[in-house]
């Protein structure tokens, strides 16, 4: 009863305020810590989301109040927010929060096997010959790899988006931020390579700073949240509204094309073709999406305006792998995608709370969380020593892989034709090991509706022959159509 009254008072205080609220993470521990800690997700439009969000309010998403009203609201909020923060920091309330909202873990254990992080294996498991590992070095390598990945989170204080009053994306922009992280990582791979690590050395890599600039929170930045919302209007993107993985993938396709056309004679902001992989008839018939080799080639040709046959390629594969949860037979397949050298991870998370999943260890999914609220940071080329600390995280959170939302998207980056052929070879093998329920398949041509098999791939993986295609794609798609949603 006391808890109920307390919640009601907090919600009442929330409703009396004329400003939206933002959340910050208060449970941060080092990545190699053996103890778990909570980092709760905030279900959209729920009582508990309002309750916990209010307790950690640090600013305004938008405001229609006068300056005097703002000061009064801020004064009232500061008092009760501090009180709520004190209560929530107590052990009993933290346990209650975890029970209601769910929790994530930050411990990394050698007993759970090796960690695959975007195509790189960190051998955490003890060696069979010695029965032991150099734990300190292994964890340090993993931590440095994890820390080097680009983190993009909720921001507050940027210029209002279009004609709206929104100056923050708190509580609705997590999918946009997750997608920005994936594309930023593709650019890191392209310009700096998979082995690149963030260091404290001065000066910092110019290519790295250039990439961060492209994701600034202003219209002038190529891949800002402002420009994403503008490009995604045809797919239902709107300020203040949540968006799903499929619409997000299509939005990147549109934005990349728009940016190319705007910079027709200059350097392309996204130096790679974008290929959103869908099912038969763009997903209208359901079934597993099909990576069509001819379609990929066409995207590359369009990107280069016919000057070269192949270009770097960003593949985005939106999927729906169940109704309210992921069908368990897809879990091993999702795990295997992180072993692809071309892996860019997964846009996914809990329902209504998108994250960027970048690695797996056994049943764990390691992710970067966009739900931390940070002040806007727009890095310019004139900055002598830019502060990039808000773009990285040394807290390796993880959640059970089977708990993620079944609506997700997988990303891959192929540097050239050989890399794409290698991707296709791995994807074909993965589909053949799926017992008739693949994540996606590979075909030479959509019009042929024929799937490529591993036996049809030449030994050097450089060419796929139309004459060697012998498996009908419709058989696989039809068998498992009940497990797929229309994309």
C-alpha to C-alpha distance for 24 and 88, rounded to whole angstroms: 13
What pLDDT does 454 receive? 59
Residues 456, 462, 468, CA angle at the centre, nearest 5°? 20
What pLDDT does 381 receive? 66
Task: Using pLDDT thresholds of 50, 70 and 90, give the confidence band for residue 125.
Answer: low
From the list 141, 426, 124, 480, the residue with the least C-alpha distance to 285 is 480
What pLDDT does 222 receive? 94
pLDDT digits (tens, 9 = 90+) for 276-318: 998 754 444 457 899 999 999 999 999 999 899 999 999 999 9
C-alpha to C-alpha distance for 321 and 330, rounded to whole angstroms: 7
| Average pLDDT over the chain, rounded to an integer | 76
What pLDDT does 32 receive? 40
Mean pLDDT of 241-246: 94
Task: Using pLDDT thresholds of 50, 70 and 90, give the confidence band for residue 103.
Answer: low
Q: Which residues pair with 156 in a beta bridge?
A: 168, 375
What residues contact 287, with CB distance under 8 A and at least 6 apart?
279, 280, 474, 476, 477, 478, 480, 481, 484
Q: Phi and psi (nearest 5°) for 368?
A: -105, 135
Is the confidence at residue 3, as pLDDT, over 60?
A: no
Highest mean pLDDT among 100-109, 120-129, 217-226: 217-226
What pLDDT does 66 receive? 43
Q: Which of 4-13, 36-45, 101-110, 320-329 has the weakest average pLDDT?
A: 36-45
Residue of 39, 174, 292, 300 marked catalytic: 174
Mean pLDDT of 246-264: 92
Mean pLDDT of 205-209: 92
Kindly tell me the sign of the dihedral angle through the C-alpha atoms of 373, 375, 381, 384.
negative
Is residue 414 annotated as a catalytic residue, yes or no? Answer: no
Share of residues in the chain with pLDDT > 70 (%): 64
Share of residues in the chain with pLDDT > 90 (%): 53
pLDDT digits (tens, 9 = 90+) for 458-479: 444 444 443 333 333 343 433 3
What pLDDT does 134 receive? 61
Is the confidence at residue 28, as pLDDT, over 50?
A: no
Helices (H), 193-314: 206-214, 225-231, 245-262, 293-304
From the list 261, 213, 220, the residue with the least C-alpha distance to 388 is 213
C-alpha to C-alpha distance for 450 and 338, rounded to whole angstroms: 26
Q: Which residue has the higher pLDDT, 250 or 29?
A: 250
The region, left, alpha or beta by phi > 0 then psi within -120 to 50, assigned to residue 349 is: left
For tokens 């820390």, the residue is: 147
Is residue 466 annotated as a catalytic residue, yes or no? Answer: no
Is the confidence at residue 358, as pLDDT, over 50?
A: yes
What pLDDT does 112 receive? 76
Q: Which of 8-22, 118-132, 259-273, 421-435 has the weakest average pLDDT?
A: 8-22
The answer to whether the CB of 276 falls within 8 A of the CB of 318 is yes
Residue of 39, 371, 405, 419 marked catalytic: 371
From the list 52, 65, 25, 251, the residue with the least C-alpha distance to 151 is 25
Residue of 217, 280, 295, 369 marked catalytic: 369
Kindly tell me the sign of the dihedral angle through the C-alpha atoms of 257, 291, 330, 236.
positive
The answer to whether the CB of 451 falls within 8 A of the CB of 349 is no
Mean pLDDT of 189-214: 91
Q: Which residue has the higher pLDDT, 56 or 132?
A: 132
Give the tokens for residue 299: 């995207």
Q: Which residue has the higher pLDDT, 52 or 74?
A: 74
Q: Which residues pair with 348 in a beta bridge?
A: 355
Kindly report the pTM of this predicted structure.
0.74
C-alpha to C-alpha distance for 404 and 345, rounded to whole angstroms: 13
Mean pLDDT of 429-449: 88
Is residue 174 annotated as a catalytic residue, yes or no? Answer: yes
* DSSP letter (8 states) at residue 324: S
Kindly tell me the sign of the dihedral angle through the C-alpha atoms of 261, 262, 265, 271.
negative
Mean pLDDT of 194-201: 90
pLDDT digits (tens, 9 = 90+) for 408-417: 999 999 999 9
């Amino acid at each position: 009863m006391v808890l109920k009254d307390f919640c009601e008072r907090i919600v009442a205080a929330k409703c009396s305020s004329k400003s939206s609220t933002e959340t910050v993470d208060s449970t941060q521990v080092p990545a190699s810590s053996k103890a778990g800690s909570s980092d709760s997700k905030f279900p959209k439009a729920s009582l508990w989301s309002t309750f916990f969000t209010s307790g950690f309010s640090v600013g305004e998403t938008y405001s229609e109040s006068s300056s005097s009203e703002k000061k009064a609201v801020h004064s009232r909020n500061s008092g009760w927010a501090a009180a709520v923060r004190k209560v929530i920091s107590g052990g009993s309330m933290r346990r209650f929060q975890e029970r209601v909202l769910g929790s994530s873990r930050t411990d990394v254990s050698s007993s759970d096997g090796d960690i695959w992080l975007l195509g790189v294996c960190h051998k955490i498991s003890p060696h069979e010959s010695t029965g032991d590992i150099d734990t300190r070095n292994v964890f340090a390598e993993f931590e440095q790899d994890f820390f080097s990945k680009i983190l993009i989170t909720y921001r507050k204080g940027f210029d209002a988006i279009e004609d709206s009053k929104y100056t923050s994306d708190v509580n609705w922009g997590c999918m946009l931020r997750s997608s920005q992280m994936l594309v930023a990582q593709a650019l890191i791979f392209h310009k700096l390579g998979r082995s690149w690590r963030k260091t404290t050395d001065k000066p910092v890599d110019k290519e790295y700073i250039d990439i961060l600039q492209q994701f600034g929170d202003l219209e002038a930045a190529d891949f800002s949240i402002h420009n994403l919302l503008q490009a995604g209007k045809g797919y239902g993107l709107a300020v203040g509204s949540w968006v799903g993985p499929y619409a997000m993938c299509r939005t990147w396709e549109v934005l990349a094309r728009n940016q190319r056309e705007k910079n027709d004679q200059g350097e392309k902001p996204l130096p790679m073709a974008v290929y959103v992989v869908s099912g038969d008839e763009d997903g209208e018939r359901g079934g597993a999406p099909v990576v069509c080799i001819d379609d990929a080639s066409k995207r590359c040709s369009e990107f280069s305006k016919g000057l070269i046959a192949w270009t770097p390629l960003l593949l985005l594969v939106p999927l729906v792998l169940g109704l309210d949860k992921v069908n368990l037979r897809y879990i091993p397949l999702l795990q295997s995608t992180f072993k692809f050298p071309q892996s860019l991870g997964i846009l996914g998370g809990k329902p209504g709370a998108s994250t960027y999943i970048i690695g797996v260890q056994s049943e764990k999914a390691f992710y970067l969380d966009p739900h931390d609220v940070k002040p806007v940071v727009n890095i310019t080329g004139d900055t002598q020593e830019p502060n990039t600390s808000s773009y990285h995280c040394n807290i390796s959170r993880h959640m059970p892989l089977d708990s993620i939302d079944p609506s997700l998207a997988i990303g891959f980056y192929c540097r050239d034709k050989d890399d794409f052929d290698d991707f296709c070879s791995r994807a074909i093998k993965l589909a053949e090991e799926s017992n008739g329920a693949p994540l996606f398949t590979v075909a030479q041509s959509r019009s042929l509706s024929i799937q490529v098999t591993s036996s049809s791939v030449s030994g050097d993986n450089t060419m796929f022959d139309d004459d060697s295609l012998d498996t009908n794609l419709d058989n696989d798609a039809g068998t498992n159509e009940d497990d797929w949603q229309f994309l």
